[in-house]
Amino acid sequence: MSDAVLALRALRKSYNAGSPLAVEVLHGIDFSLQAGELTALIGPSGSGKTTLLNLLGLLDSPSSGELFLLGRATAQLDDDARTALRGASIGFVFQFHHLIQAFDLRENVLMPALLAGRRRDAALLSEADALLDAVGLGAHAHKRPSQLSGGQQQRGAIARALITRPPLLLADEPTGNLDTHTADGVFDLFRSFRDRYGCAVLVVTHDPRLAQRCERILTLVDGRIIEDRLQGDQQR
């Protein structure tokens, strides 16, 4: 547990609690993510992946149980504390890149760091440019998202997610709209940045080929983790 970036203990999530329409979506989830782990979360539609991802990203609170981020209990944090911890510790990459069309690519990448309170100084600009170089977009820094291909925009979103050097990177169907070749390139970036920065990476995916490239696979079915498998058929 000393290297655990994220740890879930008996995590449950219900909606409409206390009413006749009450439904429990997650039923006591337990697992940990260690620094440097590259893990896939898979499961059929309706299994609870989106609900779980919202909890992992501190976008929602569990009904019971606890979620530890960098050793800090989070279930009872107020909104301000939750927002601050999320901004400092978690990077997000979504299926739809959500780049802001009014800003060029460099400004999009800078945004999470600026929102976290960093100054827009030479050091921060240099970090943004280095990330854009690392994702192969250095020459496109001053283009608007609409001037980029889908794969380029997704790579830009990865650079944006990493500008704060987050210990945890959450990727929600990050290759869902990409062709196979581009998807492979995006996945290679996840692995490269994991190797460089030691962040824990969790990829939520419906793509079995992408999941097989991860070192660990969590399978969620009907709100329960039914399998936690290391590649090579080692069981956890």
Assess whether pLDDT exceeds 60 at residue 1. Answer: no
pLDDT of residue 2: 52
Q: How many residues does this entry show for the chain?
A: 236
How many Å apart are CA 127 and CA 210, to the nearest integer?
29
How many Å apart are CA 207 and CA 209, to the nearest integer?
5
Q: What value does the CA radius of gyration of the chain take, rounded to a whole number of Å?
A: 18
Please give the residue range of the domain that contains residue 108.
4-235
Count of domains in the chain? 1
Pick from 48, 132, 150: which is nearest to 94 by CA?
Answer: 150
pLDDT band at 235 (very low <50, low <70, confident <90, very high): very low
How many Å apart are CA 100 and CA 108, to the nearest integer?
7
The enclosing domain of 216 has a CATH number of 3.40.50.300
pLDDT of residue 174: 80
Phi, psi dihedral angles at 99 (to 5 degrees): -70, 145
